[in-house]
């Protein structure tokens, strides 16, 4: 199953809104006969690729797959039917498909055909692999990760908004890998004005995520790097009061959506729903403390990834990655669960999940 998961990871950033899936066919001596993965959206599912590339009769063989085989017609025929047709005797599954169309029905079809089914192998790892898909299917919302680069005292920029560079080149290379894995990068107008980021993926073989800017009054410069017409989808979420004449001042390749306001700022909950409706299933934020705070306050964030540099800014007026909670008691703090830490060349990555 670990090999299956690693196989599935090779398609990160290529299969959305579908899940990451790998499949391995083997015999009773655990000799691998063939393997396959869901390589891109609209392509064959992992099981189908593994079966169709096998060079021998599959009767009496076993297949292991990190996600329950499908039992419905989508862009491809049901994998469960092909498994039955080829005479595979055993199916090992990591997790049940959260899609209501499947949700256990694929495994039941296999059992009804007399196939041995083993469920829940490395289930937690399989759920983590497809955390985007699980959130999409159960909540009908995008999975949101807040990514920050901070000093040891939690600062993302000086009081004058200077932030280059808190972390080193090794950390920045890791960020490129993350960008490749998410459907979109979300930022705010302040970050565009102060940092003028490109928000592209500069990883070899990577692909640019959709660039999303929250800009209540359309106050960002149309010539900002983030708006470059490089074939990447660009979306601006603007306030509902923005004039159509101002919208027309932006390049035609930019999608501009109006959103209702809350306290004279974009209602982040509504904005996230708009982005989901526009097909974005996973979003990573690279923004300032006030926007991060709004996302956390509305309980929209699922994960926090912090790149922490061994530096101290020591300035009470420097910018923090989340600002404005105004907590009076320690027991009012937002609670998270640290799920992993990783030491890089000089920085560390701390990965936490929100616990609302």
159-172 pLDDT, tens digit each = 988 888 899 999 99
In the chain, DSSP assigns E strands to: 22-26, 32-37, 62-67, 90-95, 116-118, 143-151, 155-157, 184-188, 210-215, 234-239, 254-259, 261-262, 265-266, 282-285, 303-309, 319-320, 336-343, 348-354
Structure confidence at residue 248 (pLDDT):
93
pLDDT in tens, 82-94: 999 999 999 999 9
Q: Which pLDDT band, with edges at 50, 70 and 90, does 285 fall under?
A: very high
Partners of 24 in the beta sheet? 35, 64
Q: What is the pLDDT of residue 67?
A: 96
DSSP alpha helix (H) spans, the chain: 2-9, 46-52, 79-85, 105-112, 123-129, 131-139, 169-181, 189-195, 244-247, 268-277, 289-297
Do the first three CATH levels of 2-134 and 141-354 match, i.e. the same topology?
Answer: no
Supply angle C-alpha 315, 318, 323, rounded to 5. 125
Band the pLDDT of 213: cuts 50, 70, 90: very high
Distance between CA atoms of residues 155 and 159, nearest Å: 10
From 35, 47, 174, 286, active-site residue:
47
CATH code of domain 141-354: 3.40.430.10
What is the mean pLDDT of the segment spanning 192-211? 93
What whole-number distance in Å separates Cα of residue 190 and Cα of residue 170?
26
Least confidently predicted of 71-80, 119-128, 178-187: 71-80
pLDDT of amino acid 32: 96
Cα–Cα distance, 141 to 193 (Å, whole number):
29
Q: Which residues of 102-115 are buried (b: 16+ CB within 10 A; e: fewer)?
A: beebbbebbeeeeb
Is 47 a catalytic site residue?
A: yes
Across the strands, what pairs with 270? none
pLDDT at 73 > cutoff 90: no
3.40.140.10, 3.40.190.10, 3.40.50.12160, 1.10.3720.10: which CATH number matches 2-134? 3.40.140.10
Q: Domain spans of the chain?
A: 2-134, 141-354
Q: CA distances (Å), 266 to each of 43, 65, 218, 239, 291, in order? A: 37, 42, 11, 6, 10
């Amino acid at each position: 199953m670990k090999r299956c998961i690693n196989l599935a990871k090779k398609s990160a950033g290529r299969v959305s809104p579908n899940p990451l899936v790998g499949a391995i066919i083997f015999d009773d001596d655990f000799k691998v006969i063939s393997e396959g993965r869901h390589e891109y959206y609209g392509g064959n599912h992992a099981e189908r690729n593994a079966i169709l590339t096998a060079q021998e009769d599959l009767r009496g063989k076993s297949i292991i797959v990190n996600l329950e085989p499908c039992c419905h017609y989508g862009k491809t025929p049901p994998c469960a039917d092909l498994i039955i047709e080829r005479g595979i005797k055993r199916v090992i599954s990591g997790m049940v498909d959260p899609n209501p169309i499947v949700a256990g029905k694929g495994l039941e079809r296999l059992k009804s055909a007399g196939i041995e089914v083993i469920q829940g192998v490395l289930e937690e790892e399989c759920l983590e692999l497809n955390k985007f898909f699980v959130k999409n299917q159960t909540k009908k919302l995008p999975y949101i990760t807040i990514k920050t680069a901070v000093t040891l005292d939690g600062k993302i920029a000086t009081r004058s908004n200077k932030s280059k560079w808190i972390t080193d080149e090794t950390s920045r290379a890791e960020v490129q890998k993350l960008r490749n894995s998410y459907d979109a990068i979300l930022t705010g107008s302040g970050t565009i004005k102060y940092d003028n980021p490109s928000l592209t993926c500069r990883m070899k073989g990577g692909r640019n995520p959709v660039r999303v800017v929250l800009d209540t009054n359309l106050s960002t410069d149309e010539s900002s790097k983030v708006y470059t017409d490089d074939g990447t989808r660009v979306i601006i979420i603007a306030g509902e009061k923005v004039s159509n004449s101002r919208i027309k001042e932006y390049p035609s390749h930019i999608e501009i959506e109006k959103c209702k306001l809350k306290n004279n700022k974009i209602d982040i909950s509504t904005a996230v729903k708009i982005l989901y409706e526009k097909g974005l299933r996973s979003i990573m934020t690279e923004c300032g403390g006030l926007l991060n705070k709004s996302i956390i306050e509305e309980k929209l964030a699922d994960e926090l990834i912090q790149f922490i540099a061994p530096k101290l800014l020591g300035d009470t007026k420097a910018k923090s990655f989340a600002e404005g909670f105004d907590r009076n008691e320690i027991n009012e703090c937002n609670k998270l669960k640290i799920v992993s830490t990783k030491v890089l060349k000089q920085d560390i990555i701390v990965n936490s999940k929100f616990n609302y």
